[in-house]
């Protein structure tokens, strides 16, 4: 039996993850236009997702910064923070102090991707643990989750939900807040500062919605 009411908030969350992933791609003019299109419906998505007031507030602030910041300014800051001196690393394993754990983190993320048929583009220059890749994976799993709910496929929906919780706990939750804090410390750009506040609040809120592993 189809359950559209359950599927709507899941799709809303998928759109938020997709927008967040897009915000970490190289900001060509078209990319910035796409982000602006995404933030135009962000308030609605946050409402459907049942987001906390703090997350809604930081999301609206991010939307305002997106509209107000010229693409050329976003590009300059992207190059300064993430390309040149790399003042803020965007790969999960770089936040693990144990060098021996880093390869395992990459392999574990890749295992999640294989399980859900999520493939990196053949010419992709980003790693499997790049923040945009991990956020895009959650976007894809949530779309699959919503579709399973719409079709009444309870087992598939539960498998997606289980994977979402595990990926959040084992990957996103432990390092994205630290990355966001580092980005705020390095950046004076309204786009990236507001993105860091929003993403940290969103990920913390998301993690609280899933049962913690024993």
Q: Report yes or no: 48 and 12 within 8 Å, Cβ to Cβ.
A: yes
**Residues near 39 by Cβ (< 8 Å), separated by ≥ 6?**
19, 62, 63, 66, 67
Residue 213: its pLDDT value, please?
A: 55
Rounded Cα gap, residues 204 and 189, in angstroms:
23
214: in domain: no
In a domain, 108, yes or no: yes
Q: Which domain holds residue 184?
A: 4-119+128-207
Contact status, residue 202 vs residue 175, Cβ threshold 8 Å: no
Q: Is residue 212 part of a domain?
A: no
Distance from C-alpha of 108 to C-alpha of 149, rounded to nearest angstrom? 27
CATH of the domain at 148: 1.10.3480.10
Classify residue 61 by its DSSP letter: H
Tell me the pTM.
Answer: 0.94
Total structural domains within the chain = 1
Q: Which two tokens stand for residue 86?
A: 């790399």
Q: In order along the chain (214 residues), what is the average pLDDT of each group of 10 residues? A: 80 98 96 97 96 97 98 95 82 88 91 93 75 97 97 96 96 96 92 98 92 60
Q: Is residue 60 part of a domain?
A: yes
For the purposes of burial, counting CB atoms within 10 Å of the CB of 35, is it exposed (0-12), middle (13-18) or buried (19 or more)?
buried
List the structure tokens of 140: 């894809």
Q: Is residue 213 part of a domain?
A: no
Is residue 49 situated within a structural domain?
A: yes
| Residue 67 domain flag | yes
> Does 163 reside within a domain?
yes
pLDDT of res. 99? 81
pLDDT at 123: 54
What pLDDT does residue 132 have? 96
């Amino acid at each position: 039996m189809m359950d559209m009411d359950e599927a709507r908030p899941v799709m809303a969350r998928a759109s938020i993850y997709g927008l967040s992933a897009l915000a970490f791609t190289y900001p060509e003019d078209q990319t910035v236009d796409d982000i602006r299109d995404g933030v135009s419906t962000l308030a609605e998505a946050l409402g459907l997702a049942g987001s906390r007031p703090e997350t809604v507030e930081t999301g609206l602030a991010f939307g305002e910064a997106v509209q107000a910041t010229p693409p050329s300014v976003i590009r300059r800051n992207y190059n300064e923070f993430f390309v040149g001196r790399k003042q803020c690393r965007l790969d999960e394993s770089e936040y693990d102090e144990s060098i021996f754990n880093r390869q395992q983190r990459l392999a574990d993320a890749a295992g999640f991707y294989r399980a859900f048929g999520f493939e990196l583009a053949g010419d992709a220059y980003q790693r499997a643990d790049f923040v945009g890749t991990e956020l895009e994976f959650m976007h894809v799993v949530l779309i699959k989750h919503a579709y399973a709910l719409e079709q009444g496929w309870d087992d598939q929906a539960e498998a997606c939900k289980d994977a979402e919780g595990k990926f959040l706990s084992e990957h996103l939750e432990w390092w994205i807040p630290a990355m966001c804090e580092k980005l705020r410390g390095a950046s004076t750009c309204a786009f990236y500062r507001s993105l860091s506040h929003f993403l940290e609040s969103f990920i913390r809120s998301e993690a609280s919605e899933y049962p913690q592993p024993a």
